[in-house]
Structure 1
Amino acid sequence: MRLSTVILPIRRWSQGGRDAWQRAEQLGFHTAYTYDHLSWRAFRDGPWFGAVPTLTAAAGATSRMRLGTLVTSPNFRHPVTLAKDLITLDDVSGGRVTLGIGAGGNGFDATALGQEPWTPRERADRFGEFLPLLDRLLTEPAVTHTGKHYSADEARNIPGCVQRPRLPFAVAATGPRGLKLAARYGQAWVTTGDPKLFESGTPAESLEAIRGQITKLGAACAEIGRDAAELDKILLTGFTPERSGPLESLDAFVDFAGRHFALGFTEIVLHAPIPDSDFAADEKVFEQIATEGLAQLAS
């Protein structure tokens, strides 16, 4: 099991932003991710910085820890420009980037470019075109493609990624079409659990729902002759019925992580504490989990 964190891009780089990423590396996190949004929920009326510039700065401020988005979506991205940004970020970081990517959702910044809200089917259609094109753009030196939603005309991406054949995709998906994309293109799969259980579900119900997601992922992999064990399985915490439960104490984390490790998860992601927010937590407990949690889980 690996332990990672999410650092929301809410601080100026000179006023705690750099320190947060360097501290995450000092604490030994495997990966530090950030959300790829233009604004988000309760933070939308406060400072919020762009994911790619933030990760580029983080790449220069760290040397060992992996970096990534959790997650990027088609809401305001185009595969051609995203591919160029990712190749550059992969180069600057020395091959330490993972792209968390999903179909996105409604609300927040989903209509920031002036588009009408997309239906779930429209999101799935776009993602089904977006991800294969992005895969090509990151693995081929020049790509021409004409699609319904996204096109490329001799889009050149030389020299390609430092990581070969490209940087890894961690595909966030729970529906059948998304799981098929994860099975075909993902090096990892991401879930936050079942959103229908967030408000009123129980931890046991959440575990059972996630078990069902993993079963469906296995079926999607089997359909194309792929072993589902090849995919890392990532749980982004904070959206299951336990909410901040894993950060209440070291023992609470070990119990939570152990139950999900038994389901087959290989990576748990904790939000770095943000006072007076949905992600408020004791900083000392967070640091204790970072430094001692996996060892206690193993024992």
Structure 2
Amino acid sequence: MSLRLSTVILPYRRWHEGSREAWQRAEQLGFHTAYTYDHLSWRVPFRDGPWFGAVPTLTAAAGVTERMRLGTLVTSPNFRHPVTLAKELISLDDMSGGRITLGIGAGGTGFDATALGQEPWTPRERANRLAEFVPLLDRLLTEDSVSFEGDFYSAHEARNIPGCVQRPRLPFAVAATGPRGLRLAARHGQAWVTTGDPKLYENGTSEQSIQAIRGQVEKLADACAEIGRDVAAMDKILLTGFTPDRDRPLESLDAFVDFAGRHRELGFTEIVIHWPIPDTYFAADEKVFEQIAMEASAQLG
């Protein structure tokens, strides 16, 4: 598979004060997909500033773009319910003409985890909830009427007619690194997402990161083999910015091509880079960013 290049546009600006232009520019630059985070708020410095909802943002983006795919990276059960999410996704897929990908994961212990007044879930409970959430959402997006009683989620004659424009449903990109999550990705995901090994974020090396991600890919292959699925046919997405060499890929075109090429050798089919945000963790030279967007794919083949 060829290596695709995508971006993440964080929803921190008002639509008519720069956000609209970013989504349009992303399409002009030729990105395969433009994603956004699906959070109620995010970490400093965004915590006390503007932050807009993912679904309305993607709906607006669908109206000002034509070809580029759109999606979340990622949605989690922290504040979502499968029944209401399915209705929003079917509507969004329709409005975009079938250009939506749902990135989905177990979520974490950040601000979203307590925004509805609940205590933060343990890692085990997050995994348990995701294991029920994803199969139910799969059914809701492919069946006209669904009834279900689970440990965490229920649906009573939930109707989703006419279903997704994309058939049998819009694609899932499942973010996972643990064994249960990888099995879920193998069974329900059209793609798998990783940010690398978080344990290496502070003090790891680039080579250690490569080895850790190689191990994740091997475990994904094992999970696919268990159900008779060919892992080579599954898209593999790397969301950059969270590996030990997080700053290097956007330093120059050559640095990015080297970084992306090393991960393509591991089997990745899509690399996602963050849209530059000055004076933040995601600061980068916008000229280099645009050069990467326009020229890297040709060099990577």
TM-score range, shorter chain: over 0.9
Q: For residue 38 of structure 1, what is the amino acid of its counterpart?
A: L
- Please show how residues 165-180 of structure 1 align to structure 2 within 5 Å: 165-180=168-183
What are the within-5 Å matches in structure 2 for residues 6-155 of structure 1?
6-42=8-44, 43-155=46-158
Distance in 1 between residues matched to 2:234 and 2:105, nearest whole Å: 16
Using the size of structure 1 for normalisation, the TM-score is 0.99
Letter in 2 for 1:191: T
CA offsets 1:121-164 (integer angstroms, 9 cap, x no match):
00000000000000000000000000010000000000000000
The two structures, once aligned, show a CA RMSD in angstroms of 0.5
Q: Which runs of 5+ in 2 are unaligned?
A: none
Query: In the alignment, is residue 288 of structure 1 matched against residue 291 of structure 2?
Result: yes
Task: Give the secondary-structure state (helix, strand or coil) at the position aligned to 1:16.
Answer: helix
CA separation in 2, counterparts of 1:132 and 1:199?
Answer: 35
Matches within 5 A, 1:271-286: 271-286=274-289
Shift of 1:110: 1.1
List aligned pairs for 1:223-262, cutoff 5 A.
Answer: 223-262=226-265
In structure 2, what is the Cα distance between the partners aligned to 1:230 and 1:87?
25
Deviation of 1:230 after TM superposition, in Å, equals 1.8
What SS is found at the alignment partner of 1:294?
helix
Residue identity over aligned pairs, in percent, reads 82
In structure 2, distance between residues paired with 1:138 and 1:107: 28
Which secondary structure does the structure 2 equivalent of 1:235 belong to?
strand
Q: Deviations over 1:6-37 (max 9, x none)?
A: 00001100100100000000000000000000
2:197 paired residue number: 194
Distance 2:253 2:246 in 1: 15
Q: Distance in 2 between matches of 1:281 and 1:102?
A: 27
SS of alignment partner, residue 290 of structure 2: helix
Query: Helix, strand or coil: the match of 2:113?
Result: coil
Distance 1:147 1:97 in 2: 27
Letter in 2 for 1:114: G
Q: Distance in 1 between matches of 2:248 and 2:176?
A: 24
Q: Per-residue deviation at 1:176?
A: 0.4
Q: Distance in 1 between matches of 2:130 and 2:205?
A: 31
Structure 1: tracts of 5 or more residues without a match: none
Superposed CA offset, 1:51-101 (max 9, x none): 000000000010000000000000000000000000000000000000000
SS in structure 1 at match of 2:112: coil
4+ residue stretches of structure 1 with deviation over 2 A?
Answer: none
Counterparts of 1:200-239 in structure 2, within 5 Å, are 200-239=203-242
Per the TM alignment, residue 107 of structure 1 is displaced from its structure 2 partner at its CA by: 1.6
1:3, distance to aligned residue in structure 2 (A): 0.1
Q: Residues 205-241 of structure 1: CA distance to partner in whole angstroms, max 9, x if unpaired?
A: 0000000000000000000111111210000000000
How far has the Cα of 1:109 moved from its partner?
1.6
Query: What's the CA shift for 1:108?
Result: 2.1
* Counterpart secondary structure, 2:246: coil
Aligned to 1:157: 160
1:209 maps to a residue whose letter is A
Aligned length: 298
Q: In the TM superposition, what is the alpha-carbon distance from 1:244 to its structure 2 partner?
A: 1.9
Task: Give the secondary structure class of the aligned counterpart of 1:110.
Answer: helix
Larger mean CA deviation between 223-232 and 277-286 belongs to: 223-232
Separation of aligned partners in 2, 1:295 and 1:133: 40
